[in-house]
Amino acid sequence: MAKVTFITHDGAEHVVEAEFTSVMNAAIDNLVPGIDADCGGECSCATCHVYVDPQWMEAVGPPGEREEEMLDLNPEREANSRLSCQIAITDALDGLTVRVPEFQM
């Protein structure tokens, strides 16, 4: 079980506990607003975009090749951008904090 904190655009914090799933699914299952996940978790719509807290960047790691392709087309992309469907929750990510953008593209 890992604790993940989502900070939405209005500054609200949503803390969820999850395991054996992706950060995207953890958000959807717990009704965290701001994550659309239109494609259902297949890295092909980029509507589960999050900004990973800089402290956690190393633990989370860089985007994969296909994810990079999708992220690269987003004008709101930053260095700490990831698609949350591509981040698997493990014990190593217990305490992870991500920011949710105002809009998903």
Partner 1 sequence: MTEVLYENPDVLNQDPWQLPLEDLNPAQPELFAHDRYGDYFARLREQAPVHYCRDSAFGPYWSITKYLDIKYVNTHNELFSSEPNIVLQDQAEDFKLPMFIAMDPPKHDQQRKEVAAVAGPRNLAALEPTIRGRVCQILDSLPVGEQFDWVDRVSIELTTQMLATLFDFPFDERRKLTRWSDVATAAPMPGGIVESVEQRQSELRECLERFTQLWNERVNAAPGNDLVSMLAHGESTKNMHPMEYLGNLVLLIVGGNDTTRNSISGGVLALNQNPEQYRKLREQPELIPNMVSEMIRWQTPLAYMRRRVLEDTEVGGQTLRAGEKVAMWYVSGNRDPDMFDDPDAFRIDRPNARKHIAFGFGIHRCMGNRVAEMQLRVLWEEILKRFHTVEVVGEPVRVPSSFVKGYLKLPVVLHPV
Q: Which helix (H) or strand (E) holds 9?
A: none
Interface ranges with partner 1 (CB under 8 A): 36, 38-40, 42-46, 66, 69-70, 72-76, 101-103, 105
Nearer to partner 1, 53 or 76 (CB): 76
In terms of C-beta density within 10 A (0-12 exposed, 13-18 middle, 19 or more buried), how is residue 76 classed? Answer: middle
For residue 52, count CB atoms less than 10 angstroms from its CB and return exposed for 0-12, middle for 13-18, buried for 19 or more: buried
Minimum Å gap between C-beta 104 and partner 1 is: 8
Q: How far is the CB of 68 from partner 1 (least distance, A)?
A: 10
Shortest Cβ 59–partner 1 spacing (Å) = 28
